[in-house]
Structure 1
Amino acid sequence: MEKDIINKVANSKLEVFDLEDYFPKEEIVTIDISQWLYEGFILKEKDFRELLKSFDWSIYSEKGIVLFCSTDAILPAWTFALVASYLIPFAKQIIHGNEHDYLLLHYNKVLESIDFSNYQDKPVILKGCSKKPVPNAIYTLAIQKLYPFSKSVMFGEACSAVPLYKSNLK
């Protein structure tokens, strides 16, 4: 006697919220500004400006840019802003920091733009086990966005989800 296998997950009202769906599509490139400093440490303003002016910034077209300085150079506050001003016509997004900072900014913007009312009174799985480096802090932000709308939120995969929240009022 054979019984049909029924996929209860596929037939459920369970909604999957997968942060990987919102991972940046652009290539993220790091730019070390020490390359334009004298001996990697000293900002000679006139030379610095000339080097920036003569650089081909178009190579960063539609890329996500992370600006940093790999040396212990003491730089004026305007340094990174000046570099960014050359990148603005080309880059998709520019930050001063590291790739993790870039992802945090990206996800903050994305999660602010999503209409979470689509999850009203529904059980939701906040998908974990990502193949992409979604920062843990973003899961914390995501549950805050899902909480006011969802009936419940679980973390992980449907087959092994960890309950995070269940509304008693809904």
Structure 2
Amino acid sequence: MPAISTVIQYERLNAANWDHWRSQLLRLETQTYEPSRQDTPETLEKIICHEKGVSLAAINGVQLAGFCLGAPLEAFSHVRGPAEDSLRGSATVLYAADTLVDDEYRGQGIGRELKAHQIDAARSEGFEQVSGRNRAGLADAMWRLNSSLGARAVHIIEKDYQDGIEPDLCIYYRIALSAP
């Protein structure tokens, strides 16, 4: 675990710094997610470089401690959950695609800070809701975190990953963004 004096800084991820953080983002994605949940480098780049995206990095010096990625719901029409969302097309929903914290930094509240910063930024940039998916069984900690930030389940997606890992269920959720 890093020294107690570790100071984490939070910054936006975007087209200007994608190349700088690319290799560390890909390393974290591979380290954290089973293959069926890993995004391609091209997908990550599209999310991070989306002009209306809300993606953030948690940084300790030159090391990426974690990140959260999001873009308008309309950019995810190929993903179950967003594809069926009745609000798709309204331009009012930020889809939270990924939140990851390096194993070395877990348990320090970095994931919560990333999500809180993302929610605040989404609200200030005119989004009315944040939606996302949490895989049951493998992302229970993220579901608890999202629930504590106001997430409410919209529906359960069955047999999405089809990778032999059970349960093969995702919770599709929304967080309403009321004024602070």
Whether TM-score is above 0.5 comes out as: no
Larger Rg: 1
Which protein is richer in helix relative to its size? Answer: 1
TM-score, normalised by the number of residues in structure 2: 0.25
TM-score, normalised by the number of residues in structure 1: 0.26
Highest RCO, 1 vs 2 (Cα 8 Å, sep ≥ 6) = 1
